[in-house]
Amino acid sequence: MAPTSLWHNSVVRLLLLGTLDEESSLHGLRGQTDILKAIVNHLHAIWRAQLKADQRGYVPLTHVIMPFDTPRETPIPNVPQLVTFPPPITHLVDGVEQPKPFLVNMMPFIIGHAESTLPPECQRYVPLLNRCRHHDENGKVGYLTIHEGIVEADTSQRRPGSTSKRHPLPSSKIRWGRGWMVHHELQGGIYMASTVAKSCGVWNTVVADENDIVGAHGDVDVLHGVLDRERDGYYEPQANELYWITDRTPHESLPVATTQFRQYFRFVTSNVSHWFAEHSTPNPLGIQPTATIVYGNKFTGTLTTETSA
């Protein structure tokens, strides 16, 4: 969500384009600048009210551990915690050893026992998992994502667009790790890192639980032009920086400047309500998600659910 212009806001753009379409009911607003401005300002206020500016959206991990009685308003120095990524798996391409693309998405494993509950090709990420602060989650099922591959210049590795991790389903409360910071201690949430600087942007705010701005697939594009870089603490993590976000934190996968090999790591803690089977990687060791299993394509198909035992 690097651009801040309201023109990047899908609703505002549709409103303005509708005024140019003679077949649209919005055409009557063409030239009515004051009315259009009032409509946009009203929408802006509605969207802004659904952000919880008093809750942290992301946390750099270096200075999280502080005395329990530290005042809540005490700022946390933004000193990044840098981690070492494991070497990628390699293969021969025309006789030359090259990094091999590799992807697992939301693979379930037992937190605190990753060495014995992850397949060999994923165990190289155990040291990185151990850098995450999850001791109160030990013994529960967590979810690991590893994405390694070539990213072409001016494209993003992950799904583009501004998102939170909340994916609405009818009559459901979706949880994707949740995440709170209580007395400078992290509870639940999501840990992420990548080997490419400024390939992700995060905001230090969260979307309210009860809202009508999260789209069908977790997108929050209506926040374009609503979020403010200074007020809402926009940040683009460094290469190899491990950081924590909530599942309500607006964030975005950004295009890379040059074609390069990128490694991406994500650890979603145990409080996950739905596991999308078609989009996730089963664990060959038999570790099952504790979330409700959802079958079907979440972007195009009809979804059915099955509650895990």
Q: Of 195, 56, 178, nearest to 128 (Cα)?
A: 195
Candidate from 26-30, 46-50, 172-176, 294-298 with smallest mean pLDDT: 172-176
The pLDDT, as a whole number, for residue 244 is: 95
Element housing 292 (H / E): strand 292-295
Verify that 217 and 263 share a domain, yes or no.
yes
Residue 298: pLDDT band (50, 70, 90) is confident
Amino acid at position 285, single letter: L
Same domain? For 44 and 124 the reply is no
pLDDT at 155: 94
Cβ(127)–Cβ(84) below 8 Å: yes
- Give the residue with greater pLDDT, 76 vs 234: 234
Residue 221, Cβ neighbours under 10 Å: how many? 17
**What digits encode the pLDDT tens for the residues 213-242?**
676 666 777 888 888 889 888 999 999 999
The reply to whether 35 and 68 lie within a common domain is no
For residues 72 and 44, membership in a common domain is answered with no
| Chain centroid, CA 193 distance in Å | 11
Summarised one tens digit per residue, pLDDT across range 116-147 is 999 999 999 999 999 998 778 999 999 999 99
For residues 84 and 62, state if they share a domain. Answer: yes
Largest CA distance in the chain: 66
| Interstrand relation of 241-245 and 58-60 (parallel, antiparallel or unpaired) | antiparallel
Q: Tell me the residue range of the domain where 18 lies.
A: 1-49
> What integer is the mean pLDDT of 81-109?
95
pLDDT confidence band for 171 (50 / 70 / 90) = very low
**Rounded percentage of the chain residues whose pLDDT exceeds 70:** 84
User: Cα 91 vs. chain centroid, distance in angstroms?
Assistant: 30
Is 164 in the same domain as 15?
Answer: no
Please report, rounded to a whole number, the percentage of residues in the chain having pLDDT higher than 90: 57
Measure the CA–CA gap between 181 and 65, rounded to whole angstroms: 11
Mean pLDDT score, 243-252: 92
Q: Quick one: 145 and 261 in the same domain?
A: yes
Do residue 132 and residue 257 come from a single domain?
A: yes
Question: What pLDDT was estimated at residue 76?
Answer: 60
Same domain, 9 and 133: no
For residues 71 and 217, membership in a common domain is answered with yes
Dist CA 181 CA 76 (whole Å): 12
pTM of the predicted structure, to 2 decimals:
0.85
Q: Domain check: are 180 and 40 in the same one?
A: no
Same domain for 42 and 80, yes or no, is no
CB atoms within 10 A of CB 170: 5
| Secondary element (H or E) of residue 260 | strand 260-268
**What's the number of domains the chain is made of?**
2
